[in-house]
Amino acid sequence: MADRPGSTGARRRAGAGWRRPGLAYLLLLPALLLELLVHLVPMAVGVWMSFRELTQFFIRNWSAAPWAGLRNYKVAVDVDSAIGAALLRSLWITLAYALLVVVGSWLLGFVAALLLQRPMRNRGLLRTLFLVPYALPAYAAVIAWNFMLQRDTGMINHLLVDNLHLTDDRAFWLLGDRSFVAIVLVSIWRHWPFAFLIIMAGMQNIPTDLYEAAAIDGAGPGQQIRRVTLPMLRPVSLVLILVLFLWTFNDFTTPFVLFGAATPEQADLISVHIYQSSFVTWNFGLGSAMSVLLLLFLLLLTAGYLLLTSRRRRRAV
């Protein structure tokens, strides 16, 4: 390399970087090509598909699929028709599922992080143990839960009915109304360690003097948590909540592995719903329209969340 990039003064300035666009683009090229291949082109094709009558007759020759205009979108959002009503119901179920999992995971993660905040014997061991549900491959963990939730051979019913005598009813956990409860609990079990990991890291960044100052001012443990811990965890929590929400909202593994081929309608999450609308009935046009709508919905939610949290943060400063 002949020419030396930038002057020292320019490089020292905050936010400054080497001004060699040519080399930068060269370094970026492989990523750019792959991004194009796996994200941008598929997205464009997806939008194109959503305007086509892309049924099973056109899978092999999809570019010949007839133009459908907005018909797929109309079918998807028409809540008076069976397809639209099912999509809307699936959306509500997914929203409820994601919110419950985020709240549950955050709470469990926060309490666990609080309990392990002080150095103590076996802290490292417990910390590692608590992370195991998150470290297991998701499908392996969910298969284990599928076994535990079986009506007759499962551990959960055995525990509730035979050991604890809480109920006499050997319930179906993977069918009917209880399936929603089951999937929320399984998902919280998988996700709370991630919240624990992030909150624990966030807690370690809180300066000790803040607690000392609060203690000198006479704040008890409850007040210290409310006035020091929670406000200091705010930035980490906001990102954590957004990431967890998007993960659970788009969750496919948990419902697909927990329920197998037949998802109960009470736990019909949106990813599985679109998957089945597309690959079971081979209506790719409609499936794509649903995917595009889902994406728009998520973008709106995220933008709203970011706007809301950044405004509040600015007001607080």
Per the listing, tokens 């020419």 go with 3
Three-class SS of 76-126: HHCCCCHHHHHHHHHHHHHHHHHHHHHHHHHHHHHHHHHHCCCCCCCHHHH
Closest CA to 201 of 317, 110, 132: 110
Calculate the dihedral angle through the C-alpha atoms of 238, 111, 191, 155, rounding to the nearest 10 degrees.
Answer: -160
Query: Which of 56, 281, 302, 310 touches another protein by CB under 8 A?
Result: 302
Nearer to another protein, 193 or 264 (CB): 193
Map tokens 């939610």 to a residue. Answer: 301
**49: nearest Cα among 301, 297, 274:** 274
**Cβ closer to another protein: 19 or 74?**
19
Long-range contacts of 118-121 (CB under 8 A, 24+ apart): none
Q: Scanning the structure block, which residue is given the tokens 């010949």?
A: 64
104 binds another protein (CB under 8 A): no
Residue 300 makes contact with another protein by CB under 8 A: no
| Residue 59 makes contact with another protein by CB under 8 A | yes
Task: Name the minimum Å distance from CB 187 to another protein.
Answer: 13
What's the farthest any 2 CA atoms get from each other in the chain?
82
Q: What's the closest the beta carbon of residue 79 comes to another protein, in angstroms?
A: 21
Q: Distances in Å between the alpha carbon of 205 and those of 4, 198, 271, 304?
A: 39, 11, 37, 28
Cβ of residue 176: shortest distance to another protein, in angstroms?
20
Q: Among the candidate windows 80-88, 98-106, 224-232, 304-312, which touches another protein by CB under 8 A? A: 224-232
Show Cβ contacts of residue 78 under 8 Å, excluding neighbours closer than 6 positions: 84
- 3-class secondary-structure state, position 217: coil
Nearer to another protein, 80 or 165 (CB): 165
Q: Is 138 an interacting residue with respect to another protein (CB under 8 A)? A: yes
Taking the complex as a whole, the smallest distance from the CB of residue 32 to another protein amounts, in Å, to 8
How many residues belong to the site for another protein (CB under 8 A)? 115
- Of 102 and 292, CB closest to another protein: 292
Q: Residues with Cβ < 8 Å from 105, sequence gap 6 or more?
A: 188, 191, 192, 194, 195, 244
Examine residue 11 and tell whether it contacts another protein (CB under 8 A): yes
Instruction: State yes or no: residue 4 binds another protein (CB under 8 A).
Output: yes
Torsion from C-alpha of 305, 310, 311, 316, nearest 10 degrees: 130
Closer to another protein by Cβ: residue 87 or 108: 108
**Contacting another protein within 254-293 (CB under 8 A):** 256-257, 260, 270-271, 274-275, 278-279, 284, 287-288, 291-292
Q: Does 147 bind another protein (CB under 8 A)?
A: yes
**Among residues 80 and 208, whose Cβ is nearest to another protein?**
208
Footprint of another protein on residues 109-128 (CB under 8 A)?
111-112, 114-118, 126, 128
With CB under 8 A as the contact rule, the residue among 73, 106, 145, 180 that binds another protein is: 145
- Which residues from 183-202 bind another protein, rule CB under 8 A? 189, 197-198, 200-202
Task: Pick the closer one to another protein by CB: 139 or 172.
Answer: 139
User: Would you mind telling me the total number of residues written for the chain in this entry?
Assistant: 317
Burial grade of 258 (CB within 10 A; 0-12, 13-18, 19 or more): buried
- Residue choice 155, 175, 181, 241 for contact with another protein (CB under 8 A): 155
Which of 76-84, 173-181, 214-222, 305-313 is the region at the interface with another protein (rule: CB under 8 A)? 214-222
